[in-house]
Amino acid sequence: MLEKAVEFVKDKMCDFKPQVGIILGSGLGELADEYSKFSIDYKDIPGFEASTVAGHKGKLVFAEINGKNVVMMQGRFHFYEGHSIQKVVFPIKVMKKLGVETLIITNAAGGVNASFNPSDLMVITDHINFMGQNPLVGKNDDSMGTRFPDMSEVYTPEYVELVKKTGKEVGIDLQEGVYMALTGPSYETPSEVRMARTLGADAVGMSTVPEAMVASWAGMKVIGISCICNSAAGVSTVGLSHEEVIKAANKAKDKFKILVKEVIKKL
């Protein structure tokens, strides 16, 4: 299936060669609309499926941004949609085979760190996989990565520094911290958020970790950026809703776009 998907996409790309991959999280898909050169609907790609989440489209979008050839996922596959963890990471393997060297993963997340505010952007320095799933379980494809991959630097340290430096240069205040992934789709209870904080998390969310693990395994450089869309349960006294998350992402999307574009320029 992977070979089929790669062949299908390569055929549509003609001589376009993507160097950078971006996964656009909830409410952050505008970058793709703005720069799109051409796109392919997920439903047409072997092994992909249509996206089911509000705020997520289902397209691979190809573009040139600041001199770099980029392939963007406008919409991703979430484990909570009922997809297998293999399905969630399938597009990352496709990107690797297309020649993508650097993957920028973005998401909407809940702020666990009490000093974070809604619409803050957080550079991910590390993650905690609390999904109870590891996308690398199963037969190992030795052509892509090793059986027992090192996960000590999933988020490429020099790129964490690059993102922070870029934020300073363009006047965007950035938070940094550890992202914990849970399966969702329910938001956390206040006790679970307390647990996340105790275990060292600064933000919680329902994505990113499987994709980052596979990208790291496959030798890609990884950048993770969370849009802190709400204070996670118990940090704030109000209840959570997906609408609130999308609203905060919308508020952050302009600075998010500026940051990502500037980072791409420097890769």
> Is position 35 annotated as part of the catalytic site?
no
DSSP SS3 for 175: strand
Contacting residues toward ligand HPA, per CB under 6 A: 108-110, 187-188, 204-206, 229-230, 232, 240, 245
Query: CA-to-CA distance for 177 and 65, rounded, in angstroms?
Result: 27
CB 182 to ligand HPA: min, Å: 7
Residue nearest to ligand HPA (CB): 110
Task: State which residue, 176 or 262, has the beta carbon closest to ligand HPA.
Answer: 176
CB 141 to ligand HPA: min, Å: 30
- Of 39, 56, 218, 252, the active-site residue reads 56
Query: CA-to-CA distance for 190 and 188, rounded, in angstroms?
Result: 6
- Of 32, 72, 95, 108, the active-site residue reads 108
CB under 8 Å to 236, separation ≥6 — which residues? Answer: 230
Cα torsion for 241, 243, 248, 250, to the nearest 10°? 160
Task: State which residue, 95 or 232, has the beta carbon closest to ligand HPA.
Answer: 232
Report the amino acid identity of residue 70: V
CB 207 to ligand HPA: min, Å: 8
Query: CA-to-CA distance for 11 and 72, rounded, in angstroms?
Result: 17
> Is position 34 annotated as part of the catalytic site?
no
Structure tokens at 102: 């650097």
> Is position 242 annotated as part of the catalytic site?
yes
- Of 30, 35, 69, 81, the active-site residue reads 81
DSSP SS3 for 227: strand
- Catalytic annotation, residues: 26, 56, 78, 80-81, 108, 206-207, 230, 242
